[in-house]
Amino acid sequence: MMMMWSVVTGLKRRSHMYGGPTHQSPFLDRICFLRSIQEGEKGNTAIFGVASPPLAAGQPTLTSSLFPRIMTKEETSAERDDMQIDRRELEHPQVSTIPRGFNADYLKLYYGKLFPHADIYRWLSYGNDGKHPACDHSYFGRREFSFTLENDIYVRFQSFNNAVDMENSIREKCPYKIDIGPVYSVDPAKRHAYSQSGNNVFAPVERELIFDIDMSDYDDVRYCCSGADVCLNCWPLMTIAIKVLDTALRDDFGFNHILWVYSGRRGVHCWVCDGRARRLSNEQRAAIADYFRVYKGGENYVKKVNLAGAVLHPFLARSYTDVLKGFFEGRLLASQNLFASTERFQKILEIIPDESIASELLDKWQGNRRSSISKEDVNVVRWEQLKHVLQSGKQKAQGLRRCVEEIIFTYTYPRLDMEVSKHMNHLLKAPFCVHPKTGRVCVPIDPNNCDSFDPTTVPTLSQLLEELNMSGMRSESEDEWERTSLGESIKFFRSSFLSPLLKSCKEEMESLYNSKVKQSKNALNW
Amino acid sequence: MEIVRSQRKPADAAVAPALSLYRSAPALEVRLEDFELYAIDRLRVLQGISDGLSRGKKPEEMEKLVSELWRAQMRHQDPSEEMNKDIISHFVLRLVYCRTEDLRKWFLSMETSLFRYRFRLESPESQRLLMSEFQLPYKAISHAEFETVKDKLNQVARSTGPSSNAETLFFKVPFEEVPELVAGRRVFMLKGFAYVAMNQVVSLVATQFRSNLSKALVLTNRKWTSTIRDKEKNRLTPIVEALSTGYLGPDYSQPKEFSEIALKDIDQLASTSFPLCMRHLFDKLRETHHLKHGGRMQLGLFLKGVGLKLEDALAFWKSEFSQKVGAERFDKEYSYSIRHNYGKEGKRTDYTPYACHKIISSTPSVGDHHGCPYRHFSEENLKAALGKMGVGGRSLDDILDKVRSRHYQVACTLTFEAVHAASCDSGINHPNQFHSLVEFDEVKRSCRKRLDGHNRRRRKPRSAAAASTASACLLPLPPASGFSMYLLTSLSPPAQPNLAGIARAEKDAREQRSFSHGYEEGEAAFCRTATEQCGVVDRPGF
């Protein structure tokens, strides 16, 4: 109880300091409210109800006595989308001292105690924050940050001169979402001053190569959930995407510093941070995105994957044998029940160009519902039958043999949001943000271990604060995140991504500087 | 001045002359007349390339097209003069097209295409010579290295096409140098390097050409704004400024006053005068009360272009979206981007409706309905969609035939003709053109007869600059109106004859496909006179 109080009082002081939301007698209200949560008193919640922002009509108010919720505006609007997640949480009731979900005041606490400001700063400085004479000290200050504040107020073109500026601004404004944009030719906050000169000096000059993969783009090939929801049955689609892209980015494109991040709800983000990647032009970015593009969507196209040519390109062939085939046959076939109903296998049969084969299989499967299939999984049996028909010696036509691969590509191959990758000035949510609708932290994913990543166990804001409370105030000096389940993620970020990146940045800077020195020396001698 | 002359094939006299890399401007005396005429000829070539590309022509077809265009426009009896013409016209157009970002972009991509196809027409020896001219730091890979990646290289070759006989000469280059080969997965990639076969070096050279030209254009622009523009105020500047105006195609960003549409008419309009791409989006929006971003942009800007005002647009989108996401969420999440399209938010750019080539080259993904139906629909879906428009029988077969040969805009034109029983020789290049054609046809037919004579009598001489774009206008009319297909609205001769304008008119008359250039001005002039005569609007300045 005491610990709880200390956290809360600290919080309130801070919010006063930075001009956070004030209530009639906020300090008292808050304490009363939190006490009421702990004691499970229903009656006292009303105290908070008075002070809380007005709720939209028709929205549920404080939901259950077990889990009293603080309804912020953000959350009320999110309610519709996230019933799924809420329900899941309700199924595993834990005795909680911190209300579930997302809340501006907890966010403040998160930015104050847990968010790794310094690491983000060091990352985005790319070695330019050091003492080396080759450092470009304006580098970090030319980076665009965008904040999404409460009530969807969107503030673009923020920039910070140093780590302290950044941290202070984040703590003060307490953004629901932080987006990272490109590095511009000039400080984006002062862009208007330069726009007078007319010669278009304000333009992006550097930007990580980014990829955004969103589960909702797979809605036609997953049957467990749709839209913003994910579960362990469809998450392997993201695992596939990570594996396929990560290997190709490293082996084909030669990139080394790649950060994968859980987007907080239904997808993953990828940041390729090598100097070479940051300096790519839009055209080159588009080329890479196209290299990865197999899936050609559009709602009016029946056949979304078309693999032409006598053989597959080495990249596609490798992705197919190493990743796609195994996941399709070993996981998705059964977990998504791809052949379990007429509607579903009909969709697969539509991909087969030879109508007689398709209708033959259709008749066969519609005819004998369960008779011949005893113990074996119906999906596996039917898939084997399909493969047998298409790949048997009788089928000379190359298009038919390719069809098996096309089906697998259709159901597994990564679907990128192309526009995000193509342009330098696209914004992307920063790692370690908290997703405002799920409360989950956007933690890094280890591509070598992505099989074991489970989006449903990613720490949530409230869980982290709870852990802080539980662990108490053992020592003030140590980083507080070490006492929470965020610790592993931050350690991973540092050891696997940040330190190798900064090491190579330093080397690059060193060699660039040396060659420059050499050049000027030569010039002098000459 | 640096001119690279490649070896000519002795046997073939029709071979294109050597390619220039246009490294520096020639120190030549050029007659002012040639200055402009050469530039116009080159523009015709570039415009032809632009049309070919937007029609989705294949590389082989493009190669043929470019060599034909070049022969028709740039040939000269004297080979050395031909070389000069090439170089002079290039540098004149550099001056013309350096002045804004859009102009630079267009010129850059057309010149690069031109260079690419001319390069492909060169013999292997001269190709190699040109490569060395670029001073590319890449050497062919050694035999030992070739052996280690041979299998993969073969695999790539077999994956891209059936023909390519085993190439053994490969260059190992950073993948950044050959974006188009990477994009098409036409090279083997290893640790950041692309293995480029000798028969693919055109991409490498074209990239180099493009980046050199891009830098040069920026420099030219600086010079132009700082010195040339003022120094040449009376001599070159008018020519340069006139040259760039004619070939940008019509500007659909400002809805015409006459074509303002009301919210209540929109359903009617959708069924009569929307092209299939927009009609499909419109129907989907009515059906599902939602469109994804690409669809909202494509349809939203189109509607803006046909004259839907911002307030009406907001009301229109809200009435649909609120049924799905609720009015509150619409106001919060979607109204911004609509206001943005109308230049009321963000950087306040008044966005222009998408042209066909942009729609054709878009890449719709899951849940998307935008794009060009002729390109992005499967045949069954296209058939059904066309059937809904009332297209069937032979015209349907014709359309599908064009789609199979990837002439999407021609297919759209045929659809227009089938639905409206009118011919459209100019071809559809812009969805808004489809719309205005119909509207023009339906609404203005009645007073066209009267206005024709009126136009001839009343048109006042205009300033030279204005005359250059309006000196001759072509109004395509459906045969139903009883007029000749092309009605030449001749105006009083401009005070100073301007070659650009006249040349353009000639071209239009010859090729009969000038819709995108002549039509709009004609239409605008037509309508201005219409309102003038009827006394509806009394605006000073006419």
- Asked whether the predicted pLDDT for residue B308 surpasses 50, the reply is yes
Q: Which residues of A touch B371 (CB under 8 A)?
A: 298
- DSSP alpha helix (H) spans, A372-476: 378-391, 398-412, 418-422, 461-471
The model's confidence at residue B255, banded by pLDDT at 50, 70 and 90, is low
The model's confidence at residue B426, banded by pLDDT at 50, 70 and 90, is low
Query: Over the stretch B349-392, which tens digit does the pLDDT of each residue have?
Result: 778 888 888 888 888 877 888 988 888 888 888 888 888 888 88
Which is higher by pLDDT, A369 or A65? A369
Which is higher by pLDDT, B226 or B483? B226
Q: What is the mean pLDDT of residues B530-538?
A: 34
Q: Which residues of A are tagged catalytic?
A: 144, 212, 214
The model's confidence at residue B164, banded by pLDDT at 50, 70 and 90, is low
Q: Helix crossing, A104-113 with A461-471: angle to 10°?
A: 60
Spell out the residues 6+ positions from residue A180 whose beta carbon is closer than 8 angstroms to its own: A124, A143, A144, A145, A146, A427, A428, A429, A430
Q: Which of A370, A20, A333, A336 is nearest to A172 (CA)?
A: A20
Distance from CA of A275 to the nearest CA of B (A): 13
> CB contact, 8 Å: A284 with chain B?
yes
- Asked whether the predicted pLDDT for residue A43 surpasses 70, the reply is no
**Alpha carbons A382 and A341: distance in angstroms, whole number:** 11
> CB contact, 8 Å: A282 with chain B?
no
Predicted complex ipTM = 0.77
- Asked whether the predicted pLDDT for residue B47 surpasses 90, the reply is no
Query: Over the stretch B257-286, which tens digit does the pLDDT of each residue have?
Result: 445 677 777 888 888 788 899 999 998 898
Q: What is the mean pLDDT of residues A187-198?
A: 76
> Can you read off the two tokens belonging to residue B534?
């009827």
Top residue of B175, B209, B369, B370 to mutate, by most chain A CBs within 10 Å, is B175
The reply to whether residue B155 touches residue A298, judged by beta carbons under 8 angstroms, is no
Query: Over the stretch A147-161, which tens digit does the pLDDT of each residue have?
Result: 999 888 889 999 999
> CB contact, 8 Å: A417 with chain B?
yes
Pairing of strands A267-272, A209-214: antiparallel
> CB contact, 8 Å: A252 with chain B?
yes
Q: Which of A37, A13, A39 is nearest to A26 (CA)?
A: A13
The model's confidence at residue A522, banded by pLDDT at 50, 70 and 90, is confident
Q: What is the structure's pLDDT at B358? A: 83
Q: What is the structure's pLDDT at B9? A: 35
Spell out the residues 6+ positions from residue A420 whose beta carbon is closer than 8 angstroms to its own: A210, A211, A212, A426, A428
> Can you read off the two tokens belonging to residue B536?
């509806």
> CB contact, 8 Å: A524 with chain B?
no
Secondary structure of A208-264 in HEC code, one letter for each residue:
CEEEEEEHHHHCCCCCCCCCCCCCCCCCHHHHHHHHHHHHHHHHHCCCCCEEEEECC
The reply to whether residue A302 touches residue B380, judged by beta carbons under 8 angstroms, is yes
The model's confidence at residue B183, banded by pLDDT at 50, 70 and 90, is very high
> How many pairs of residues across A and B have Cβ atoms under 8 Å apart?
123
Indicate yes or no: pTM above 0.90: no
Distance from CA of A264 to the nearest CA of B (A): 20
> Can you read off the two tokens belonging to residue B505?
């008119």
What is the fold of B11-131+208-243? Transcription Elongation Factor S-II; Chain A (1.20.930)
The reply to whether residue A298 touches residue B193, judged by beta carbons under 8 angstroms, is no
Q: What is the structure's pLDDT at A298? A: 60
Q: What is the mean pLDDT of residues A192-217?
A: 83
Q: What is the structure's pLDDT at B496? A: 36
CA nearest to A191 within chain B: B347
The model's confidence at residue B18, banded by pLDDT at 50, 70 and 90, is low
> CB contact, 8 Å: A299 with chain B?
yes
> Can you read off the two tokens belonging to residue A358?
């398709």
- Asked whether the predicted pLDDT for residue A439 surpasses 80, the reply is yes
Which is higher by pLDDT, A68 or B216? B216
Interface of B with A (CB under 8 A): 101, 152, 155-156, 158-162, 175-176, 179-180, 182-185, 188-193, 222, 280, 328-329, 332-333, 363-369, 371, 373, 376-378, 380-382
The chain-wide mean pLDDT, for chain B, equals 72
Q: Which of A415, A321, A251, A282 is nearest to B183 (CA)?
A: A282
Q: Which residues of B touch A218 (CB under 8 A)?
A: 366
The reply to whether residue A200 touches residue B367, judged by beta carbons under 8 angstroms, is no
CA nearest to B177 within chain A: A284
Residue B175 in contact with residue B141, Cβ under 8 Å? no
**Alpha carbons B264 and B253: distance in angstroms, whole number:** 22
Burial B169-181 (b: 16+ CB within 10 A, else e): ebbbbebbbbbbb
Q: What is the mean pLDDT of residues A39-61?
A: 35
Q: Given CA atoms B193, B196, B202, B203 in this order, what sign does their dihedral have?
A: negative
Which is higher by pLDDT, B452 or A422? A422
Q: Which of B81, B85, B101 is nearest to B44 (CA)?
A: B85
Beta bridge partners of A146: A179
First to last CA, chain B: 49
Q: What is the structure's pLDDT at B4? A: 36
Highest mean pLDDT among A375-389, B158-172, B526-540: A375-389
The reply to whether residue B364 touches residue A315, judged by beta carbons under 8 angstroms, is no
Top residue of A291, A355, A405 to mutate, by most chain B CBs within 10 Å, is A291
- Asked whether the predicted pLDDT for residue A258 surpasses 90, the reply is yes
Q: What is the structure's pLDDT at A272? A: 97
The reply to whether residue B189 touches residue A417, judged by beta carbons under 8 angstroms, is no
The reply to whether residue B333 touches residue A152, judged by beta carbons under 8 angstroms, is yes
> CB contact, 8 Å: A317 with chain B?
yes
Q: What is the structure's pLDDT at B328? A: 83
3-state secondary structure of A178: strand
- Asked whether the predicted pLDDT for residue A32 surpasses 50, the reply is no
**Alpha carbons B227 and B221: distance in angstroms, whole number:** 10
Q: What are phi and psi of A254, to 5 degrees?
A: 75, 20
Q: Which of B183, B368, B381 sits opposite A290 (nearest CB)?
A: B183
Pairing of strands A428-429, A143-149: unpaired
Burial A461-488 (b: 16+ CB within 10 A, else e): bbbbbbbbbeeeeeeeeeebbebbbbbe
Domain ranges (residues) in chain B: 11-131+208-243, 135-203, 257-411
Query: Over the stretch A377-432, which tens digit does the pLDDT of each residue have?
Result: 888 888 998 888 888 766 566 667 788 888 999 999 999 988 899 999 899 999 99
Top residue of A252, A316, A319 to mutate, by most chain B CBs within 10 Å, is A252
Lowest mean pLDDT among A215-224, A237-246, A299-308, B522-531: B522-531
Q: Which of residues 140-199 of A touch B (CB under 8 A)?
A: 152, 199
The reply to whether residue B156 touches residue A218, judged by beta carbons under 8 angstroms, is no
Whole-number Cα distances in Å, A520 to A105, A514, B425: 56, 10, 64
Using left for φ > 0, alpha for ψ between -120 and 50, and beta otherwise, residue A444 falls in beta
The reply to whether residue B158 touches residue A152, judged by beta carbons under 8 angstroms, is no
The chain-wide mean pLDDT, for chain A, equals 78
The reply to whether residue B189 touches residue A77, judged by beta carbons under 8 angstroms, is no
Query: Over the stretch B69-86, which tens digit does the pLDDT of each residue have?
Result: 888 888 877 777 888 888
The reply to whether residue A219 touches residue B161, judged by beta carbons under 8 angstroms, is no
Q: What is the structure's pLDDT at A375? A: 63
Q: What is the structure's pLDDT at A475? A: 54
Spell out the residues 6+ positions from residue A494 whose beta carbon is closer than 8 angstroms to its own: A119
The reply to whether residue A217 touches residue B367, judged by beta carbons under 8 angstroms, is yes
Lowest mean pLDDT among A38-52, A179-193, A495-509: A38-52
Q: Which residues of B touch A199 (CB under 8 A)?
A: 222
Q: What is the structure's pLDDT at A27? A: 37
Q: Which residues of B touch A309 (CB under 8 A)?
A: 158-161
**Alpha carbons B283 and B269: distance in angstroms, whole number:** 12
> CB contact, 8 Å: A508 with chain B?
no
If you ran DSSP here, which 8-state letter would residue A371 be given? S
Lowest mean pLDDT among A304-318, B62-76, B490-504: B490-504
- DSSP alpha helix (H) spans, A336-460: 342-349, 355-367, 378-391, 398-412, 418-422
Q: What is the structure's pLDDT at A328? A: 94
Whole-number Cα distances in Å, A191 to A184, A187, A200, A202: 9, 6, 10, 6
The reply to whether residue A77 touches residue B158, judged by beta carbons under 8 angstroms, is no
Q: Helix crossing, B276-288 with B310-325: angle to 10°?
A: 50
- Asked whether the predicted pLDDT for residue A6 surpasses 50, the reply is no
